[in-house]
Amino acid sequence: MQTIKGPALFLAQFIGAEAPFDSWDGITRWAADCGYKGVQVPTLDPRILDLAKAEDSADYRDEFLGIARQNGVEVTELSTHLQGQLVAVHPAYDAGFDAFAPASLRGDPKARQEWAVGQVAQAIRVSRLLGLDRMATFSGALAWPYLYPWPQRAPGLVETAFDTLAARWRPLLDLAEDHGIDICYEIHPGEDLHDGITFEMFLDRVGNHGRANMLYDPSHYVLQQLDYLQNIDIYHDRIRMFHVKDAEFRPTGRQGVYGGFQPWIDRAGRFRSPGDGQVDFGAVFSRLTQYGFDGWAVVEWECALKHPEDGAREGAAFVRDHIIRVTPHAFDDFAESHVDRAAIDKALGL
Q: Is 78 helix (H, G, I), strand (E, B) or coil?
A: strand
Q: Cα separation of 293 and 238, whole Å? A: 10
Give backbone dihedrals phi and psi of 9, rounded to 5 degrees, phi first.
-130, 130
Mean pLDDT for 301-330 is 93
DSSP bridge partners of 39: 9, 75
d(CA 148, CA 150): 6
Q: Are 177 and 212 in contact (CB under 8 A)?
A: no
Euclidean distance between the first and the last CA atom of the chain, given in angstroms as a whole number: 36
pLDDT band at 308 (very low <50, low <70, confident <90, very high): very high
Per-residue pLDDT, 330:
58
Output the pLDDT for position 1: 83
- Domain interval for residue 343: 5-347
Who's near 320: CB < 8 A, 6+ residues apart? 6, 7, 35
Dump pLDDT digits (tens) for 25-79: 999 999 999 999 999 999 999 999 999 999 999 999 999 999 999 999 999 999 9
Q: How far is CA 72 from the centre of its chain?
A: 23
The pLDDT, as a whole number, for residue 224 is: 97
Residue of 271, 264, 216, 211 whose CA lies nearest to 247:
271
pLDDT in tens, 9-35: 999 999 999 999 999 999 999 999 999
| CATH number of the domain within which 185 lies | 3.20.20.150
Residue 6 has pLDDT above 90, yes or no: yes
31: number of CA atoms within 13 Å, CB side? 37
Higher pLDDT, 310 or 343: 310
Per residue, the 3-state secondary structure of 118-144, as one string, reads: HHHHHHHHHHHHCCCCEEEECCCECCH
Q: What is the DSSP string of 142-183?
A: SSGGG-S--SPPPTTHHHHHHHHHHHHHHHHHHHHHHHT-EE
Strands 5-10 and 38-42: parallel
- DSSP letter for 4, please: P
Peptide bond into 171 cis (omega under 30): no
Q: What is the pLDDT of residues 105-151, one digit of tens each?
A: 999 999 999 999 999 999 999 999 999 999 999 999 999 999 999 99
Q: Say what the pLDDT of residue 65 is.
A: 98
User: How many domains does one find in the chain?
Assistant: 1
Largest CA distance in the chain: 83
Give the confidence band of 348 by pLDDT, cuts at 50, 70, 90: confident
Q: Strands (DSSP E) along the chain, which ranges?
A: 5-10, 38-42, 74-80, 134-137, 182-186, 212-216, 239-244, 246-249, 269-272, 296-299
Coil/strand/helix, residue 213: strand
Task: Say whether pLDDT at 285 is over 80.
Answer: yes
Average pLDDT value over all residues in the chain: 96
Query: pTM for this one?
Result: 0.94
